[in-house]
Amino acid sequence: MTDPYYITTAISYPNGRPHIGHAYEAIVTDAIARYNRLAGRDVYFQTGTDEHGLKMDQAARARGIDARTLADEMSGYFREMADTFNISYDRFIRTTEAAHHHASQTLWQAMADAGDIYADRYEGWYSVRDEAFYDEKELVDDPNGGGRLSPEGSPVAWTAEEGWFFRLSAFQDRLLAHFEANPDFIQPESRRNEVIAFVRGGLRDLSISRSNFDWGVPVPGSADQVMYVWVDALTNYLTGAGYPDDQERMARWWPADLHVIGKDIVRFHAVYWPAFLMSANLPLPAKIFGHGHVLDRGVKMSKSLGNVVDPQELAQRYGVDPVRYFLLREVSFGQDGSYAADAIVTRSNADLANGLGNLAQRCLSIIAKNCNALVPEPAAGSEDPDLAGQATRAAVDAAMAQLSPNRALEAIWEAVGDANRYFADNAPWSLRKTDPAAADTILYYTAEAVRRLAILVRWAVPASADRLLDLLAQPAEARDFAALGTAIAPGTPLPPPVGVFPRLEDEKAG
Ligand code: ME8
């Protein structure tokens, strides 16, 4: 495969267990990764945990354990969440790995060699929760009268210490020139505009080391200093690409094609990260997408649902694919979304159980009963209704090129609607009695539509799509987009049909 595609999620702080926002980011990034694999690209997908810094240190202290123990325990939950939701990562990176320390120190050294790191005294506002420095002018008043807060609404503390600085101010013009020359570098547009305004407002040099705690990557040549957590965190993307020692991997995977991150950390990715890379003379990633936040409004309104905010519990209660489908379909990628238990149930029942599931079930059970469980033969010269055909594929590609999984799914479900109408209008179950050849034709084209739909939707609901393709006796190598053009063979023996998408109950009522 000649077309490499390197995609990443943010790496999460394992200072607590994962929540629905982490699951959302993993699912949407996985969907894009899987889509690209289905389209024939050689995908490398990295996710993981960001284990250093003051936030981890403090969370561990609060529990009376050391940061490493906390990281080991919580990182396990993030990995488990990724596995539960069928996240097809190629590497789950932990920033405490030796290879990552080596990469971070090498990048630091490259920035130092370029003359972009110098010693100075830092004084300013720091938010541990955000792991971020802020200017006085960025702070906001606490609406509850608790003093000054970060723009993310987190407490800030005045910090003063000696340490190392990165000459961020020197990169202002180069960053602006890069944004100008690469209009797609930061998406969506609203985030791009925020970043440009921030950089135009002037950049101050960045404090990049800390001496008042030691839970971090040691600064090369400065035994009493550890790196500011964002320096090493961002470097994870390079570590995954084999930096600095594996030239072959670097040549294949760097620069990354897409960093998927949340809107709260766009500044780190769109300003600090490219400046570090420019300093070290490394190419910049092609694109940074800042998605919105998923709010648990529905849950808050419904006390009876208790703690379903835990992604594991959501998966257990509703099933992995209904949750994946819901988040991909209901949240416009780039905007905030909210989730509610009854909305997951409604969406899943309408689109998965009644839409695609019912189509497959009705068609395949008639084939099992009336056609000896063999894919029937369409009548010679019959007209192909071209259900879920080229036009649907083109609509899916266009939506995914815009990183819009919700619109891609809309296009697929238009085709599900067409196929259901075709089947219902032609009523093969009654047509059988008068014109069995015509009924076979309808059944054939419907089965073929189910096959195409299952392939087209495999990036969104992989396990369910694979069960549909099992029911159609499709081999593993005939399940990607290249297989869309080769119709199912008449005479293929099919296994007994079973329901793939169960109907969900709204437990709130019970
Ligand atoms: O920011 N909805 O880690 P993190 C959607 N370690 N996404 C959300 C969300 C929500 N409610 N809450 C958080 C960090 N996220 C750093 C990243 S990358 C080099 C270092 C997203 O655990 C958030 O925007 O706080 C981020 O992209 C990811 O989850 C991890 O957040």
The per-residue pLDDT for range 162-198, each reduced to its tens digit, is 999 999 999 999 999 999 999 999 999 999 999 999 9
Distance CA 502, CA 29 (A): 26
Alpha-carbon distances, residue 78 vs 23, 308, 328, 371 (angstroms): 9, 16, 20, 47
Distance CA 140, CA 409 (A): 39
Q: How confident is the model at residue 307 (pLDDT cuts 50, 70, 90)?
A: very low
Look at residue 506 in the predicted model and tell me its pLDDT: 73
Distance CA 19, CA 309 (A): 6
Alpha carbon of 22 to ligand 1 centroid (Å): 6
Q: What is the mean pLDDT of residues 196-216?
A: 96
pLDDT surpassing 60 at residue 308: no
DSSP letter string over 162-218? Answer: EEEEE-GGGGHHHHHHHHHH-TTSEESHHHHHHHHHHHHT----EE-EE-S---SPE
pLDDT surpassing 60 at residue 508: no
Q: Identify the residue whose C-alpha is closest to ligand 1 atom 29.
A: 22
pLDDT surpassing 90 at residue 351: yes
- Among the residue ranges 168-182, 207-221, 289-303, 442-456, the one predicted with the least confidence is 289-303
Q: How confident is the model at residue 13 (pLDDT cuts 50, 70, 90)?
A: very high
Tens digit of pLDDT for each residue in 229-246?
999 999 999 999 999 999
pLDDT surpassing 80 at residue 248: yes
Q: Identify the residue whose C-alpha is closest to ligand 1 atom 13.
A: 21
Omega into 244 within 30° of 0, i.e. cis? yes
Q: Identify the residue whose C-alpha is closest to ligand 1 atom 21.
A: 262
Distance CA 416, CA 356 (A): 6
pLDDT surpassing 60 at residue 412: yes
Look at residue 361 in the predicted model and tell me its pLDDT: 98
Alpha carbon of 260 to ligand 1 centroid (Å): 10
Distance CA 355, CA 412 (A): 11
Percent of the chain with pLDDT over 70: 96
Alpha carbon of 460 to ligand 1 centroid (Å): 21
Q: Cα angle at 187 between 181 and 192, to 5 degrees? A: 65
Q: What is the mean pLDDT of residues 270-280?
A: 98
- Among the residue ranges 145-149, 373-377, 390-394, 426-430, the one predicted with the least confidence is 145-149
DSSP letter string over 338-385? Answer: E--HHHHHHHIIIIIIIIIIHHHHHHHHHHHHHSTTBPPPPPTTPPP-
Q: How confident is the model at residue 507 (pLDDT cuts 50, 70, 90)?
A: low
Task: Record the pTM.
Answer: 0.96
Tens digit of pLDDT for each residue in 278-290?
999 999 999 999 9
248 — phi, psi (to 5°)? -65, -45
Q: Identify the residue whose C-alpha is closest to ligand 1 atom 11.
A: 21
Q: Identify the residue whose C-alpha is closest to ligand 1 atom 23.
A: 262
E strand or H helix at 295: strand 294-295
Answer whether 51 contacts ligand 1 (Cβ < 6 A).
no
196 CB neighbour count, 10 Å cutoff: 16
Q: What is the mean pLDDT of residues 7-18?
A: 96
The ligand 1 atom nearest the CA atom of 50: 6
Q: Which of 240, 241, 237, 215 is nearest to 226 (CA)?
A: 215
Answer whether 87 contacts ligand 1 (Cβ < 6 A).
no
* Residue 422 Cα to chain centre, angstroms: 35
276 — phi, psi (to 5°)? -60, -45
Q: Which of 317, 318, 319, 321 is nearest to 468 (CA)?
A: 321
Answer whether 276 contacts ligand 1 (Cβ < 6 A).
no
pLDDT surpassing 60 at residue 303: no
pLDDT surpassing 80 at residue 299: no
pLDDT surpassing 50 at residue 300: no
Alpha carbon of 172 to ligand 1 centroid (Å): 26
Alpha carbon of 23 to ligand 1 centroid (Å): 10
pLDDT surpassing 90 at residue 456: yes
Alpha carbon of 355 to ligand 1 centroid (Å): 33
Distance CA 255, CA 287 (A): 10
Look at residue 297 in the predicted model and tell me its pLDDT: 58
Alpha carbon of 191 to ligand 1 centroid (Å): 16
94 CB neighbour count, 10 Å cutoff: 18
Distance CA 297, CA 320 (A): 21
The one-character DSSP state at 290 is E
Alpha carbon of 12 to ligand 1 centroid (Å): 6
Answer whether 233 contacts ligand 1 (Cβ < 6 A).
yes
Answer whether 13 contacts ligand 1 (Cβ < 6 A).
yes
Distance CA 52, CA 440 (A): 63
The ligand 1 atom nearest the CA atom of 295: 11
pLDDT surpassing 70 at residue 305: no
Q: What is the mean pLDDT of residues 62-87?
A: 98
Tens digit of pLDDT for each residue in 387-401?
999 999 999 999 999
Q: How confident is the model at residue 144 (pLDDT cuts 50, 70, 90)?
A: confident
H helices within 12-66, ranges in order?
20-38, 54-63
Q: What is the mean pLDDT of residues 489-503?
A: 97
Answer whether 25 contacts ligand 1 (Cβ < 6 A).
yes
- Spatial neighbors of 104 by CB under 8 A, at least 6 apart, are 217, 227, 231, 232, 235, 239
DSSP letter string over 116-148? Answer: -EEEEEEEEEEETTTTEEE-GGG-EE-TTS--E
Residue of 12, 271, 295 to test ligand 1 pocket, by largest number of atoms within 8 Å of CB:
12
Q: How confident is the model at residue 223 (pLDDT cuts 50, 70, 90)?
A: confident
What amino acid occupies position 446? T
Answer whether 229 contacts ligand 1 (Cβ < 6 A).
no
Alpha carbon of 140 to ligand 1 centroid (Å): 21
Domain 350-493: which CATH number of 3.40.50.300, 3.40.50.970, 3.90.1150.10, 1.10.730.10: 1.10.730.10
Alpha carbon of 88 to ligand 1 centroid (Å): 19
Q: Which CATH class is domain 4-116+167-291?
A: alpha beta
Q: Which of 266, 240, 275 is nearest to 95 (CA)?
A: 240
Distance CA 108, CA 100 (A): 12
Q: Long-range contacts made by residues 299-307, C-beta under 8 angstroms, separation at least 24?
A: 299/339, 299/340, 299/341, 301/340, 302/340, 302/341, 302/508, 304/508, 305/341, 305/507, 305/508
| Tokens 């050689």 sit on residue | 42
Look at residue 30 in the predicted model and tell me its pLDDT: 99
Q: How confident is the model at residue 145 (pLDDT cuts 50, 70, 90)?
A: confident
Segments making up each domain of the chain, as ranges: 4-116+167-291, 350-493
Distance CA 36, CA 10 (A): 19
Question: Would you say the CATH fold of 350-493 matches that of 4-116+167-291?
Answer: no
Q: Which of 246, 252, 230 is nearest to 102 (CA)?
A: 246
Distance CA 167, CA 170 (A): 6
pLDDT surpassing 90 at residue 1: no
- Among the residue ranges 217-226, 295-304, 309-318, the one predicted with the least confidence is 295-304
Q: How confident is the model at residue 46 (pLDDT cuts 50, 70, 90)?
A: very high
Q: Is 446 exposed, middle or buried (0-12, 13-18, 19+ CB in 10 A)?
A: buried
* Residue 402 Cα to chain centre, angstroms: 15
pLDDT surpassing 60 at residue 480: yes
Q: How confident is the model at residue 298 (pLDDT cuts 50, 70, 90)?
A: very low
Q: What is the mean pLDDT of residues 458-463?
A: 98
Look at residue 2 in the predicted model and tell me its pLDDT: 79
